Structure 1
Amino acid sequence: MASPTLSQMRAVDALARTGKFSRAAEALGISQPSVSTQIQSFEELCGTRVFIRDGHTIHVAPAAVDLIAKIKIALKCVDEVEMAITDKTALKSGLLSVGFSAHRLIMPTLTAFVRKYPGLRLTTHGGPSLELADAVLSGELDVATISQAVPDKRFASFKLFDSRVAIYGRKDHPLLKKGQLKLTDLDGQDMVLWNRASGTRTVIEEAANKYGVELKPVLEVATLDVAYAAAAAGIGLAISIEGEVRADEHIDVAPLVEPELAIGHYLIALPECRNHSTVNAFFEVAKESGSSADGPIPR
């Protein structure tokens, strides 16, 4: 049986990323007919459709999603070999994609990494922890920092730190004036919660179910700026990792102390990519740079 070629896999990856033959050709620096030929040859090899044509847009067929993820990961390994040959692991060039669930908590590591490896290009993506984990699994991200109660065995992980859950809301909110909160204080309170892909939300909801506390979500959000704005406007109390959000002229913040809910903040990568030079470099910088939060809260 014939094996897929590197050219075919690069064409498949480019088309999956761009959704158009013209853009895939541009990304690869080859002609559009060449991309079409490579895709056709690959689909013939697979014996099934890898892409679905929807007018001028191309989508990955549902049955091929896992295959595309394997191709992305395989290409990362090929790129690592090419870098070792051409760059001699000096990390003077290359690309690293980084995901984060809390920008202030990863900023010290990002800052130290950019300063240490100015020739590398970083792309970043913020989002809820579970979505970031899926993006690492699919090969969309090289590394990500996520919040979860225990490490996920699917990944190579490094714990950056443990933190408490904190609650924040509009300035002078009567509950926050106490300086610290019990979980029972949140019973029946209007809440601004991250969507269900959030590791922090998962932790607090599991605790609420355990202790019979009813959380009352009035707004679900997917970004920190919206959560902050909603809490500051008095729509409801919001949750965060302690240190992710600081008290200011618009909000007060109080740790949740009874029960004290610990949540880990982990740096993750695929086990098969953990020793890639850029990924390993990021892990090493993360170990050295500490865990202090830095940077402003987006308004």
Structure 2
Amino acid sequence: MDLLQLRYFRMVARTENISRVAEELRVAQPSLSRTITRLESDLGVPLFDREGRRLRLNQFGKAFLTRVDRALDELEDGRRELADLAGLERGGVAIGAENLKLLHPVVANFVGAHPGARVRLFSGTTADVTARVVAGELDLGVISQSRSTPGLGGQELLDEEVLLAVAPNHPLAQRGRVAVTELASEPFITTSPDYWQRTVLDRVFSRAGLRPMIVCEGDDPTAVRSLIATGFGIGLLPALARDYPGPDVAWLHLDEVYCRRTLHLVWRTDAYLSLAARRFRDLTAETFAHNIPSVPE
């Protein structure tokens, strides 16, 4: 049994998909399968139930995964601690966010102050980022509409109103405020349910006993404003976006107190947080507290 076997096992156990892990690792699928088989032979029990080409982690695999997670996390914490002892310039930090542009000012300041420190960025949905922080793949995550997740600590970075954006020639463009009930027949441009814009949209319509009429749904939140400006539909955007350069739209307040979004910075409380990660965490909090990043949404 060696570390490579344990790392491969953990990845396969989490996905229950040999081909996906082989593609991610850029190794041959038969080679990865043999590695798992040798590990099972060393342990004397099967870790997966095989159903044709499908894998299912069995009771032995689930018990072993708990120990493997603990062992690999301890080794990773040890690596980070040694990097800290060698100085921050030898350390690194991995951060994830839905919109990496939010982190541009923080990254610029951090790299400028610590040019030797390694920074790795990941873009994904709140669920993706949260899962990677929990798994130890990311040190920090910036997520919207924070949920309570065991083992994670957090700090609120931002709480802001979410506004309705319409094209400048839209009949509502001259209105300063509008009720959700007035929007029942309006075409909405929004994101997939994985992103905060859709979460807020569904929430405010549900509270009014309605469902939004969605004509465009995608995984690119930054495209929403451009499409709204064409007159194709209307949509929700954060209040901060009013101050950012971008296509011309008109802004309205919604008569709904829950039409807001929050940003939270999260990290694991049961793992060693490197010096670089702690510095980046503090710098992020300071940046949002005194100088909210100016980026388009």
Question: Would the TM-score normalized by the shorter structure come out above 0.5?
Answer: yes
Query: Partners in 2 of 1:163 and 1:21 — Cα distance?
Result: 37
Q: Deviations over 1:57-77 (max 9, x none)?
A: xx9x45389887985675354
Q: Distance in 1 between matches of 2:69 and 2:172?
A: 48
Deviates more, 1:272-281 or 1:62-71: 62-71
8 Å contact kept, 1:170–1:250: no
Match for 1:237 among 223, 234, 237? Answer: 234
Identify the residue that residue 141 of structure 1 maps to in structure 2. Answer: 138
TM-score norm. by structure 2 comes to: 0.75
| Paired amino acid for 2:57 | A
Pick one of 274, 282, 285 that aligns with 2:283: 285
Cα contact 2:97–2:129 (8 A) shared by 1: yes
CA distance in 2, matches of 1:51, 1:96: 38
Match of 2:173 in 1: 176
Letter in structure 1 aligned against 2:148: D
Q: 1:96 to 1:213 in 2, by over 3 A?
A: same
Report if the CA contact (8 A) 2:77-2:271 is conserved: no
> Are the structure 2 counterparts of residues 226 and 22 from structure 1 closer, same or farther at C-alpha, using a change threshold of 3 Å?
closer
Superposed displacement of residue 202, structure 1: 1.8
Q: Which residue type is aligned with residue 115 of structure 1?
A: G
Map of 1:22-61 to 2, 5 A cutoff?
23-24=26-27, 38-44=35-41, 45=43, 47-49=46-48, 61=55
**Following the alignment from structure 1 to structure 2, what is the Cα–Cα distance between the partners of residues 19 and 179?**
54
User: Is contact 1:243–1:293 with CA below 8 Å preserved after alignment?
Assistant: no
CA distance in 2, matches of 1:5, 1:83: 21
Q: Classify 1:193/1:281 alpha carbon distance in 2 versus 1 (closer, same or farther; 3 Å).
A: same
Are residues 141 and 86 of structure 1, via their aligned partners in 2, closer, same or farther at CA, if it must alter by over 3 Å? closer
> Is 1:275 aligned to residue 273 of structure 2?
yes
Please name the residue that 1:262 is paired with.
Answer: 260
Distance in 1 between residues matched to 2:268 and 2:227, nearest whole Å: 35
Matched residue SS, 2:216: strand
Identify the residue that residue 194 of structure 2 maps to in structure 1: 197
For 1:183 and 1:110, how far apart are their aligned partners in 2?
38
Match of 2:148 in 1: 152
1:29 is matched with none
Displacement of 1:259 in angstroms is 1.7
| SS, match of residue 273 in structure 1 | coil
What is the one-letter code of the residue matched to 2:134? L
Identity of aligned residues (%): 19
Structure 2 gaps, min length 5: 13-17
With 210-219 and 9-18 compared, the bigger mean Cα shift is at 9-18
CA contact (8 A) 2:161 2:239 kept: yes
Q: Return 41-50 or 139-148, whichever deviates more.
A: 41-50
Q: 2:22 aligns with which of 19, 30, 41?
A: 19
**Distance (Å, rounded) in 2 between the aligned partners of 1:253 and 1:62:** 52
Q: Deviations over 1:118-141 (max 9, x none)?
A: 223323232332332233334443
The 8 Å contact of residues 195 and 220 in structure 1, kept in 2 or not, is answered as yes
With over 3 angstroms needed to count, the CA separation of the structure-2 counterparts of 1:71 and 1:276, relative to structure 1, is: farther
TM-aligned CA distance change 1:110 to 1:81, over 3 Å: same
Which whole-Å CA distance do the structure 2 matches of 1:118 and 1:52 have between them? 50
Is the alpha carbon distance of 1:100 and 1:213 closer, same or farther for their aligned partners in structure 2, counting shifts above 3 Å?
same
Count how many residue pairs are aligned between Structure 1 and Structure 2. Answer: 281
SS of 1:269's partner is strand
Distance in 1 between residues matched to 2:100 and 2:25, nearest whole Å: 34
Cα offset, 1:255, TM superposition: 5.1
Report the counterpart of residue 57 of structure 2 in structure 1. Answer: 63
Cα contact 1:164–1:255 (8 A) shared by 2: no
Correspondence for 1:121: 118
In 2, Cα distance between equivalents of 1:22 and 1:218: 38
In structure 2, the CA distance between the partners of 1:49 and 1:208, relative to structure 1 (3 Å rule), is same
* Distance in structure 1 (CA, Å) of the matches to 2:168 and 2:284: 34
Give the Cα separation in 2 of the matches to 1:250 and 1:146: 26
Contiguous gaps of at least 5 residues in structure 1: 26-31
**Alpha-carbon separation, structure 2, partners of 1:49 and 1:10:** 16
Q: Which residue of 1 aligns with 2:294?
A: 294
Contact persistence 2:161–2:238 (CA under 8 A): yes
**SS of structure 1 residue aligned to 2:232:** coil
